[in-house]
Amino acid sequence: MSRERSSSRRFYRGESYSNLLACMDRGMTAEEQNRWTFEVAWEAANKVGGIYTVIRSKTYISTEEMGDQYCLVGPYKEQCARTEVEEGPLATNTLNRAVDACRSKGFKIVTGRWLVDGNPQICLFDVGSAAWKLDEFKQELWDKTNIGVPHLDIEANDAIILGYMVADFIAEFRNCAEQDGDGTPPKIVTHFHEWQAGVGLIALRTRHVNVATVFTTHATLLGRYLCAGSTDFYNNLDKFAVDEEAGKRQIYHRYCMERAATHLAHTFTTVSDITGYEAEHLLKRKPDVITPNGLNVKKFSALHEFQNLHALSKEKIHEFVRGHFYGHYDFDLDKTLYFFIAGRYEFGNKGADIFIEALARLNHYLKSSETDITIVAFMIFPTKTNNFNVESLRGHAVTKSLRDSIADIQHKIGKRMYEVCLNGRLPAANDLLTKEEMVRLKRCIFSLQRDGLPPVTTHNIVDDWNDPVLCHVRRCNLFNTTSDRVKIVFHPEFLNSTNPLFGLDYEEFVRGCHLGVFPSYYEPWGYTPAECTLMGIPSITTNLSGFGCFMQEHIADPQSYGIYIVDRRYIGLEDSVRQLAHYMYDFSRLSRRQRIIQRNRTERLSDMLDWRSLGVYYRQARMQALHKLFPDYVEEIENSIGTLKYPRPISEPPSPSSSRVTTPAASVHGSDDEDDSVDEEGELEELRKRHH
């Protein structure tokens, strides 16, 4: 994309905030207008998957905008709620009266504050307390929509019970708000996430409750199933017989609930353009608004601080590598790069297949160029294991023994040197290291010998002969031999600080790596590359992920900012693998200074992913829904939303006339030379040197 074509999108960071900051009055305006927002999700205070992260991270900006006029709604799951929810009455009498009315019907409702950023109000409905009305709810769903649900589908049954409980609560609340509104009719928006919560939307609309409704799908139900079956998904989207495909997979009733919620909603949204394209063909409705997923961005006071954190975390990964590769530790850690892929173990959808294939080609490229660079590629996919691999544990034991022995000998040598120097002479070699200490060191060194190769995996995996990652590693002959310039480490569980091998949590691990690789085939948004961007770690994504499409649309030259986008949509699989391998090879050829510059530029993109920028789209969706219910609300929409644009990164290359002369001095890690004072035109040229 040329600078001329993209100039219409250019504006500064402060302007992007103004659209939403003008509305962040902790609900004062909403209270005057008698405007309320209820956000309904199965994962409200219930950690199941990625939607939990969306809801949780967005609460701060939601409460800053709407204060106590905002309330989350979800199912009561005791295990999570016990640790995350502070029980108590809600902030307003109107809400409490509606809760009491539902409790009088026999529903168990837990209210209080969710203990996350923003501390929002939350209502949790115990599905079991209304199970006795399941048949009645199912009958109503059938009578109104002709959707029948099999008795044995427990998840769908729970979704129906929750949906009708929420619909009863919203109807009661609307009556209470109308009584307390002093003549101002209540403007209520109910926002439902995914099909499990969508039954509540269906109930509200079929009962003709006068509230605005928004439905967001984060990934279509049928889309997930089709991609799991190794289908050529995107090339056949317009050809699928959706009813037949859903029926084959025994999810027709769920698909019908999702499609009904999609069409009944006043405003329909998806999290990305690629999911919107999917919804248009599978759910037969084009989204009204795209609502990208954001994160809470917390800036450091000095820009180089995140570079220092990278160095600290990298040293912890160094310790793991020293232990894991003992006996074959013949590469220089200063010339070693750490790549990683992480996520749910969906081998094809997450792109692990082409990642391993591309690593095999990268190994060939590095061998052919006779470089001294080594790549250690980590694959973090949780799967069933028996226990830790004995070789992995032994490696860390022998390296710890060597480290402890050397530390003890160092201390003794220091004391001897001190005594000799006090006598007025320089210490000789035999004064420093005794014979016993030499023997001790030799024993430690001999214990570092090993017969086999370093293991590919850190655990003993259940049914490892059929494990897809291990099968592909075997096929590509990536066995961590001495001649391999690409080493593989498959870690089949999520990282945490109590892990005996790594001893660091996921965030620290990401900070210590050099490149995140996420060549996903099916990724409605993609939090993993977004998290890398926040931490200043370059990443590889694809134009089939929501994150990749978002970056392509809003950045003129993503690669210069550490966002490499593999084409998995318009070219063949072989070409995609080759492109991915070349991206990784080009990255491995960057100098240390070039990588530091690129990390700085990547971190500057974090403002684009902040909820302060992206939250405005959720507001737009709510206002559109209200406008359909209250047509005279249009002026307030225009005044509050303004122009919807995203900021280009502050580090966009300036024109040559305003550029300063590039200094040739090498940057010192952790120094102030790594901050914004680096010439950006020079940065761009330096980053491009290796790519031409």
The reply to whether 225 and 272 lie within a common domain is yes
The reply to whether 519 and 565 lie within a common domain is yes
**pLDDT of the residue at 447:** 82
Residue 655 domain flag = no
For residue 634, pLDDT over 70 is answered with no
Name the residue with higher pLDDT: 160 or 18.
160
Task: Please give the residue range of the domain that contains residue 332.
Answer: 305-389+455-608
Q: Are 549 and 272 in contact (CB under 8 A)?
A: yes
For residue 683, pLDDT over 80 is answered with no
Residues 511-540 pLDDT 10s:
999 999 999 999 999 999 999 999 999 999
Residue 71 domain flag = yes
Query: b/e for 344-382, b at 16 or more Cβ within 10 A?
Result: ebbbbbbbbbbbbbbbbbbbebbeeeeeebbbbbbbbbe
**pLDDT of the residue at 229:** 78
**pLDDT of the residue at 689:** 57
Q: Look up the pTM and report it.
A: 0.85
C-alpha of 368 from chain center: 36
The reply to whether 122 and 248 lie within a common domain is yes
The reply to whether 343 and 465 lie within a common domain is yes
The reply to whether 256 and 334 lie within a common domain is no
Residue 666 domain flag = no
The reply to whether 323 and 434 lie within a common domain is no
Residues 240-294 pLDDT 10s:
999 999 999 999 999 999 999 999 999 999 999 999 999 999 999 999 999 999 9
For residue 61, pLDDT over 90 is answered with yes
Range among 129-138, 301-310, 429-438 rated most confident:
129-138
Average pLDDT estimate for 627-638? 69
Exposure on the CB side of residue 376, measured as CA atoms within 13 A:
28
Residue 508 domain flag = yes
Cα 225 from Cα 218, distance rounded (Å): 14
**pLDDT of the residue at 681:** 57
Query: b/e for 595-624, b at 16 or more Cβ within 10 A?
Result: bbbbbbbbbbbbbbbbbbbbbbbbbbbbbb
Q: 187 - beta bridge partners?
A: 35
Nearest of 184, 186, 159 to residue 173 by alpha carbon: 186
Residue 676 domain flag = no
Q: Are 163 and 197 in contact (CB under 8 A)?
A: yes
User: At 571, which CATH number?
Assistant: 3.40.50.2000
Residue 662 domain flag = no
The reply to whether 285 and 328 lie within a common domain is no
Residue 47 domain flag = yes
The reply to whether 636 and 597 lie within a common domain is no
Domain count, the chain: 3
The reply to whether 488 and 531 lie within a common domain is yes
Query: Which of these three, 553, 583, 608, is where a domain ends?
Result: 608
The reply to whether 375 and 516 lie within a common domain is yes
Cα 630 from Cα 621, distance rounded (Å): 14
**pLDDT confidence tier of residue 669, bands split at 50, 70 and 90:** very low
**pLDDT of the residue at 641:** 38
Residue 654 domain flag = no
The reply to whether 55 and 171 lie within a common domain is yes
Q: Are 271 and 524 in contact (CB under 8 A)?
A: yes
The reply to whether 591 and 623 lie within a common domain is no
DSSP 213-250: EEEEESS-HHHHHHHHTT--TGGGTTT--HHHHHHHTT
- Tokens encoding 304: 């180089």
Query: Which of these three, 553, 588, 608, is where a domain ends?
Result: 608
What is the chain's mean pLDDT, rounded?
87
Q: What are phi and psi of 503, to 5 degrees?
A: 65, 30
